[in-house]
Amino acid sequence: MSDVLKNRRILLIIGGGIAAYKSLELIRRLRDQGASVRCVLTQAGAEFVTPLSLGTLSGDKVYTDLFDLTDTATIGHIELSRDADLLVVVPATADLLAKMSAGLAGDLATTLLIATDKPVLVAPAMNVCMWTHRATQRNVEQLMADGIHFVGPNDGDMACGEFGPGRMAEPAEILAAIDAHFSENEFSGNPPLKGRRILVTSGPTHEPIDPVRYLANRSSGKQGHAIATALARMGADVTLVSGPTNLTAPAGVNLKRVETAREMLAACEAALPADVAICAAAVADWRVDIDATQKIKKEAGAATPSLTLVENPDILATISKMKKGRPALVIGFAAETEKVIEHAVAKRARKGCDWIVANDVSPESGVMGGDLNTVHLISDGGQEDWPLLPKQAVAERLARAIAAHFEPKKTKS
Ligand code: C5P
């Protein structure tokens, strides 16, 4: 991660939910990056974490009571909310989101949130039904329209035993969102990729067997979408060609949705010329050699159908080997389950791309569909090993490497 968090002042508001314990890890990580953290604990939040643990980790007083702050000897609430570069609500409960959306100010946390002139980032956490409830979704829409920034929630197992959206983003993801927020401001005025056209592929492809069945893979599209987001934030003109995913369209990106590998290739060709092409999609290597316009029926006594597969076009290799109009920089991904570097180096040579981003997707790595990634960047310049990072931070780092690649070389005078 960059050093954009150095000396940033974060006002962390801790709401009342089981995910409050993750705020402790977030404080530690923020401080590791050089940020200062001041905590405000709601009454409900204090049921889950103590002022003592927050105070110890933040190295500052923990604020809990609105009326404490009306004492002229202490800092007032306006000052407390303005003496920060960013307000972060972790976890943002259904109750807190509703109060923020309605503009209520009945306690210190909500008063600060309405009194601030600083940006606010919220990390929602709640039960699936609470998150999907129309009232919460209405509040979320309102808050987004009001300019509140969101990170998460993610799909996952919940403390209540259910599964689905509502699980709070991990501290590493929240940290990446905070980092991204400041990076965005860092680039305002002079974004380093301004004027660069960049094509990104993302997600899986779906290869039909018949009108209701298809072949697919476990790609979530999170890494490709995060790359498109990071590039757009750095000023690039991004076309994101994506197979089917559950992700929302990244802001400021031209999204083309496709289903099959052949549609993806056609959309990529239509998006060229570009300065850079990044193929992060998990394109199906094969499609079914079939032209079933009706659902294949399971008839009693009939033989089990067999599927004949034919090879799909290789989008990365096609772009890398273009004779005319090849992007100046073509980047591929190599998701491997063993001998990661060896296979990635061979893949780079075989496909003809300039850089390859290699990662371990063996089932035990937990990467496929997850939020974290450990990658190695392989180029003519050698191999860079990056630490375990949230996918957004991998994206940010890759975008910075691309910007540095295009930076005019400084000549010695
Ligand atoms: O050969 P393999 O699928 O492992 O190669 C991975 C890289 O090639 C990724 O960058 C992926 O986006 C790209 N690829 C492609 N078209 C295919 C297969 C892979 O662009 N048909």
Q: Tens of pLDDT along 112-128? A: 999 999 999 999 999 99
Q: What is the pLDDT of residue 182?
A: 87
Residue 333 CA to ligand 1 centre (angstroms): 7
The CB of 261 under 6 Å from ligand 1? The reply is: yes
Q: Respond yes or no: is residue 160 known to be catalytic.
A: yes
Of the chain, the percentage scoring pLDDT greater than 90 comes to 70
279 ligand 1 Cβ < 6 A: yes
Q: Ligand 1: which atom is nearest the Cα of residue 319?
A: 20
Instruction: Name which residue sits closest to atom 8 of ligand 1, judged by CA.
Output: 316
361-389 confidence digits (pLDDT tens): 877 666 676 777 889 999 999 999 988 78
Ligand 1 atom with minimal separation from the 336 CA? 4
| Catalytically annotated residue among 160, 268, 279, 353 | 160
pLDDT at 72 over 60: no
Indicate yes or no: pTM above 0.95. no
Cis peptide leading into residue 91 (ω within 30°)? yes
Query: Which atom of ligand 1 approaches the CA of 281 most closely?
Result: 12
Residue 126 CA to residue 318 CA, distance in Å, equals 45
pLDDT at 291: 81
Backbone angles phi, psi at 9, to 5 degrees: -105, 115
DSSP run (H or E) holding 294: none
Q: In sequence order, which ranges of 188-299 are alpha helices (DSSP H)?
A: 222-233, 261-271
How far, in Å, is the centroid of ligand 1 from the Cα of 156?
Answer: 28
Confidence class for position 250, pLDDT limits 50, 70, 90: confident
Tell me the C-alpha distance between 279 and 198, whole Å.
11
Atom of ligand 1 nearest to the CA of 351: 8
List the one residue out of 404, 326, 398, 304 whose CA is nearest residue 358.
398
Residue among 145, 115, 111, 140 nearest 125 (CA): 140
pLDDT at residue 233, rounded to an integer: 87
Distance CA 360, CA 6 (A): 31
C-beta 121 within 6 A of ligand 1: no
Domains plus CATH for the chain?
Answer: 3-185 (3.40.50.1950), 191-294+305-406 (3.40.50.10300)
Q: Whose CA is nearest to atom 21 of ligand 1?
A: 314
Structure confidence at residue 180 (pLDDT): 83
- The verdict on the CB of residue 332 being under 6 Å from ligand 1 is yes
Which segment, 181-190, 271-280, 332-341, is predicted with the most confidence on average? 271-280
* Cβ(202)–Cβ(242) below 8 Å: yes
Mutate to test the pocket of ligand 1, among 260, 316, 342, 348 (most ligand atoms within 8 A of CB): 316
What are the tens digits of pLDDT across the range 251-305? 789 999 999 999 999 999 999 999 999 999 999 999 999 888 899 988 888 888 8
